[in-house]
Structure 1
């Protein structure tokens, strides 16, 4: 059983992996322009699903045992109907509803998002200094202060536990891990150190060689510093608890590259902003179009099962 969330209606793929969570891309636009952003495997500025469309997809997924939803983008808070989307989703999901965001609009939206039914947020913050932040995001340095206020607003609103996503980049921010640990301890956030990734066959590409950092030696150092460990059953990864001058802090590692264990424990099906089920972020030809099936629940139901059955572990 994974997180105690498998039900009698849960659909399993042909590798015995249950699908219990849906990752829904709400748009493909962002007020940041991070140079490494994968835009959930889609193109920028595509059309997007309506709140009604999203509710139909969530309702069908929930009928097949899905009980967790994560909203992504682009930047999902840029949608002016984001509160309606969350309210509609809450009607069908008894488990966690979360969101990945850059945090810029959280100072004004956090309480409203919580009231609409959002449980928690992941906030992308890939640097703790103004210069590097500007270099990564291609926005003004003072936006970093806004993101930090967004983290505070999320905590104050109860969108917890707040997770800070930090993609480790060679020669850019890999020397900031200790400062990020201290920052997260002060701000009551879990730090997620994320491996820079690319699709199979592109490991010799210029960007991958330039920016990829192996997280293994970093994790070994963190493990030695930890006072105890927990296990996050999502992708079967360790969560390390460290003692700092500002109290305890939790650190996780997201290592999707060449990681059979990561794929073995994947329980996620993706929905793209323009209306496709997508089985894996790293694959390019795994789209199942559902936009023309949204008015036919039986067809949507069949497409959900078809997409799940076509899930293949990327690293195996």
Structure 2
């Protein structure tokens, strides 16, 4: 049976950060809430914590980084997780290693991938990621499909005055590759809202979602965070578009069912908080780990609550998507 926090939210999934190393340099990356390189969890430690979480009803795992495919033992880690989880195992990746290892990951037990692709334009892609690997990432989407790591989701962080204009082309790329396009709001914590970078690039997804909604021929909802997913027609065919709007969104937080694991071996109760992290690295006693798991669940708290919905002041209104 799953454990519930004080706000009635069950913990049904685990988000495991394998490393803080990445071959991209995306300026908005929150690195799953950590910013210090350190000793990484071993495959044994990862398997142990997955087994314990499964004992508490967790049957869904998301693998993240850094860039998780940079770990040479990534296939072994997936194999070990699959021993205890019969639900969905997915991974968020920049895709640069996928053409080489996609089939091995599938054979090990990985179900599907989210691939980060924040612009289809070479110059804008380089500005965002610090690399010229756009073609390789697009190749990764195809490799993931070939390996049946599906449905593939394309993660696209929407950035004001930078890549909003790319969304129509991204719809086509998603349709061409039978992928779900996930439009993600640039998010930060309360302190980060006043930063120059955030104010420069954050844009509300509401007008974009409204335009997509008008064109949709159907809508469904993702259980996680109650996110809408629209089915629309693009020039390249049908495509599903999902919106991830966490910033000052109490409804988003109210539907969160994840507990996070940092690469340093900590339970992390919320992406936006580090003051409630609970270290467990080096602990092997099952009963002690279970007690720490219970404590972490008890400390979970929605970051945004009712009353936090006030609009965020921006330097301008950003861009309105024109899909006509």
Ranges in structure 1 where 5+ consecutive residues have no aligned partner: 1-8
Q: Deviations over 1:284-304 (max 9, x none)?
A: 3120011132x1110000000
* Runs of 4+, deviation exceeding 6 Å: none
Is 2:91 the counterpart of 1:83?
Answer: no
The answer to whether the Cα contact below 8 Å between 1:169 and 1:211 also exists between their aligned partners in 2 is: yes
Tell me how far apart the structure 2 counterparts of residues 292 and 119 of structure 1 sit (CA, whole Å). 29
Residue 44 of structure 1, CA deviation: 4.3
The answer to whether the Cα contact below 8 Å between 1:48 and 1:274 also exists between their aligned partners in 2 is: yes
The answer to whether the Cα contact below 8 Å between 2:172 and 2:234 also exists between their aligned partners in 1 is: yes
- Name the Cα RMSD after superposition: 0.8
- DSSP 3-state at the match of 2:248: coil
Tell me how far apart the structure 2 counterparts of residues 161 and 33 of structure 1 sit (CA, whole Å). 26
The answer to whether the Cα contact below 8 Å between 1:29 and 1:44 also exists between their aligned partners in 2 is: no
- DSSP 3-state at the match of 2:194: coil
Partner of 2:278: 288
Tell me how far apart the structure 1 counterparts of residues 165 and 233 of structure 2 sit (CA, whole Å). 20
The answer to whether the Cα contact below 8 Å between 2:158 and 2:164 also exists between their aligned partners in 1 is: yes
The answer to whether the Cα contact below 8 Å between 2:175 and 2:239 also exists between their aligned partners in 1 is: yes
The answer to whether the Cα contact below 8 Å between 1:58 and 1:92 also exists between their aligned partners in 2 is: yes
Partner of 2:17: 25
Tell me how far apart the structure 2 counterparts of residues 196 and 231 of structure 1 sit (CA, whole Å). 21
Question: Under a length normalisation based on structure 1, what TM-score does the superposition of the two structures give?
Answer: 0.95
Tell me how far apart the structure 2 counterparts of residues 274 and 124 of structure 1 sit (CA, whole Å). 23
The answer to whether the Cα contact below 8 Å between 1:23 and 1:70 also exists between their aligned partners in 2 is: yes
Partner of 2:301: 312
Question: Under a length normalisation based on structure 2, what TM-score does the superposition of the two structures give?
Answer: 0.93
Count of residue pairs brought into register by the alignment: 305
Residue 94 of structure 1, CA deviation: 0.9
The answer to whether the Cα contact below 8 Å between 2:268 and 2:274 also exists between their aligned partners in 1 is: no
Partner of 2:102: 110
User: 192, 195, 209: which is aligned to 2:185?
Assistant: 195
